[in-house]
Amino acid sequence: MSPSAWVENRPTAGRRALDWREVWRYRELVAFLALRDIRVRYKQAAFGMLWALAQPLAGLLVFTLVFDRLAGVPSDGVPYPLFVLVGMTFWTLFSGGLSAATASLVANSSLVTKVYFPRVAAPLASVLPRLVDLSVTLVLLALLLAVTGTLPGPQVLLLPLVVLWAVGLAFGVGLTLATVQVRFRDAHHALTLMVQLWLYASPVAYPSSLVPAEWRWAYALNPVAGLLDSARWVLLDTRPPAAPVLVSLAVTGLLLVLGVRVFAAGERRFADVI
Amino acid sequence: MTNAIEVEGLGKRYRLGEGLASGTLRDAVSDGVARALRRGGRSRDEAADVWALRDVDLAVPQGASLGIVGRNGAGKSTLLKVLARITEPTVGVSRTRGAVGSLLEVGTGFHPELTGRENVFLNAAVLGMPRAVVAARLDDIVDFSGIGRFLDTPVKRYSSGMYLRLAFAVAAHVDADVLLVDEVLAVGDAEFQRRCLGRMEDLGRSGRTVVFISHNLDAVLRLCSTALWLDGGRVRGVGRTADVVDDYLREATPDAGRRSFAEDPDSPVSLLGIDVREADGGSAGRLRREEPFVVEVDLGVRERVPGLDLAVSVETLNGVRLLDEALSDTAQSGPGPLAGPGRHRVSLTLPPLLMPGEYLVNVWAGTTYETLVWEHGAARLRLEGSHQARPDRLLAAQGVWTVTAAAPR
Ligand SMILES: Nc1ncnc2c1ncn2[C@@H]1O[C@H](COP(=O)(O)OP(=O)(O)OP(=O)(O)O)[C@@H](O)[C@H]1O
Ligand SMILES: [Mg+2]
């Protein structure tokens, strides 16, 4: 056997960083973990992939009844059902990814305590299955767009970037919460509450144009606001997002950096305290 | 020869209590409030710390097999976790050379809803095997496991034995330069254990470095050229397996064969003491399998008990009764002097029947109508020696064989 390099394990001095090259080397594990989650979710489910539509459609129904019919909320000049479906699609992508990433370490605790792998593979793998749900919803959306004759503009080509934004945001916040959850099991109660409030604080069922102009900048501190404005512009050709979207983007970036920092700092004790 | 594993001044401290391990947010908040109210309360209680490893130094040459022995909680698994980089040491450093495969549990990452095939690929990915390699070895793995046509059945429909075999088959085909194995033999039947051991021997011969934890000292003796004895997180001994295991055994059973008991004031008969030793003297506790041994029981009889009888039974640690000998079995005219008041010493000499291992010696005394003394595990008996390559049997009767030319009947 050829003498290969030493691999060391010693106490970290100072701040830890995540080793992304190593994550790349473990990409097959990430893929298999994601695949496992997908298979397990759709196995023995009579309606299989159609369940992916359940949440966006339920939201569509309720919000159309309450906000459109009863409250008469405006919808940026597109049919309200389409408006809310795009909102729900990206909201579900974000909130579903966030819940999965938060639970990912505890859900894989036997792996965490029994084998070595870059820990960040777990939250990373847990957000990927959400893309399957997303593609199912997008097919439905495309059908609706075709039926109603609403055509997106050329900016539809930016769709992958918007998806990346939603996933990145879920991943970033999820990294922080997953680290907290390893220590405190009841963190998920807090998460459920937080996600519920966050939904109403985001322009899912109403347009952000409803927010008074002088508050737009503050409102954009909620990164989901900028995300949903962009998603609607990309898919429904509504008004292009205004300058506050940059605030949302910056906050997303900050949350990602924070998540990576918190995760990297907590990582070395995961196997001990989980 | 180059080393495959080096460990220097390694220490690992675990923190217990103080709401750190698997606490809840509520505890943390209330702890925090309580501490703030106390003002300047100690940040952490040093007594709540456990040093699972302390000052461990070790070097394992490439191609060697190292056995780790020690009591429960000695830090064996922790050492493996540090070597595998699952957890970080508190002080010191550990180094490994080449690909490390850790087998701390059979079937890590198996999911009940997935089929055998899917689990093979998943488990292999978890153990760090590239997909292409697994695909190429799938036939070998399936052969080894003997799962056959159940390959595409969800593993939740497997018997626990099938599940284990498949999981071990995957692990056995991992391409690691350094293989870390923790107590996987504790599960599975005798056949499974034999396969595991055989496979690990093969790996050792092919130049892999194997570190092996087991409470099955026989397996350690068979597999490992060197052994490490951990005790309370510290290295108590390291060197030739036979020597280390010997030292460990001597310490692990300090005179467990000799015990005394307090008199029972409520019973006319009490067990006062027991001693198990080799027939020709020798020390208590550690006996050679090839020699007869003596169980000596001291019995205190306060008042005359007509028909008093005494029995000594021997059982394995998992409760299989192998022998049960009563004083009245021997056709002498009854127990005689035992029934009268006084302190009696009764000894029973047993021929070398039992295989090496640990046994419990129980003492019963009573009459046909009532039990007056029942001491389960009154003494522990450890027999040492060779299994003579048949580890599955419990008894060796040493029957008499003859071979002669056969005349037609
Ligand atoms: N995650 C943890 N948090 C706190 N203490 C731990 C943790 N893991 C192990 N310990 C403690 O460290 C010590 C050593 O444990 P370890 O699992 O290494 O023992 P072991 O030698 O493998 O024992 P066994 O033979 O029972 O498997 C024990 O006192 C145990 O309680
Ligand atoms: Mg252990």
For the Cβ of B21 lying below 6 angstroms from any atom of ligand 1, the answer is yes
| Segments forming the whole domain that contains residue A197 | 33-273
User: Is A27 part of the contact surface with chain B (CB cutoff 8 Å)?
Assistant: no
pLDDT band at B335 (very low <50, low <70, confident <90, very high): low
Contact B89 A11 (CB under 8 A): yes
Ligand 2 center to B6 CA (angstroms): 21
Q: Report pLDDT digits (tens) over A5-64.
A: 888 998 987 777 888 999 999 999 999 999 999 888 877 666 677 778 888 888 888 888
Which of A2, A111, A114 would best serve as a mutation to test chain B binding (most B beta carbons within 10 A)?
Answer: A114
Tell me which chain A residues have a C-beta less than 8 angstroms from the C-beta of B125: 28-29, 31-33
pLDDT at B290: 82
The three-state DSSP-derived secondary structure of chain A is: CCCCCEEEECCCCCCCCCCHHHHHHCHHHHHHHHHHHHHHHHCCCCCHHHHHHHHHHHHHHHHHHHHHHHCCCCCCCCCHHHHHHHHHHHHHHHHHHHHHHHHHHHHCHHHHHHCCCCCCHHHHHHHCCHHHHHHHHHHHHHHHHHHHCCCCCHHHHHHHHHHHHHHHHHHHHHHHHHHHHHHECCHHHHHHHHHHHHHHCCCCCCCHHHCCHHHHHHHCCCHHHHHHHHHHHHHHCCCCCCCCHHHHHHHHHHHHHHHHHHHHHHHCCHHHHC
A20 in a structural domain? no
pLDDT at B254: 52
Q: What is the mean pLDDT of chain A?
A: 89
A16 in a structural domain? no
Ligand 2 center to B211 CA (angstroms): 13
Model confidence at B127: pLDDT above 60: yes
Contact B85 A185 (CB under 8 A): no
Q: What is the mean pLDDT of chain B?
A: 84
pLDDT at A71: 78
Domain total of chain A: 1
To test ligand 1's pocket by mutation, which of B76, B87, B105, B213 has the most ligand atoms within 8 angstroms of CB?
Answer: B76
Average pLDDT over residues B154-175: 85
Q: Which ligand is nearest to the CA of A113?
A: 1
Q: Report pLDDT digits (tens) over A165-217.
A: 999 999 999 999 999 999 888 788 888 999 999 999 999 989 988 888 888 88
Most confident of B10-19, B227-236, B248-257: B227-236
Model confidence at B253: pLDDT above 60: no
Domains of chain B, by residue range, sit at: 3-252, 258-384
CA distance to partner chain B, nearest, from residue A187 (Å): 7
User: Is A200 part of the contact surface with chain B (CB cutoff 8 Å)?
Assistant: no
A11 in a structural domain? no
User: Is A274 part of the contact surface with chain B (CB cutoff 8 Å)?
Assistant: yes
Model confidence at B41: pLDDT above 50: no
A192 in a structural domain? yes
Model confidence at B31: pLDDT above 50: yes
Looking at the structure, give the CATH architecture of the domain made up of residues B258-384. Distorted Sandwich (2.70)
Q: What is B3-252's CATH number?
A: 3.40.50.300
pLDDT at A253: 97
Q: Report pLDDT digits (tens) over A213-266.
A: 888 889 999 999 999 999 999 999 888 888 889 999 999 999 999 999 999 999
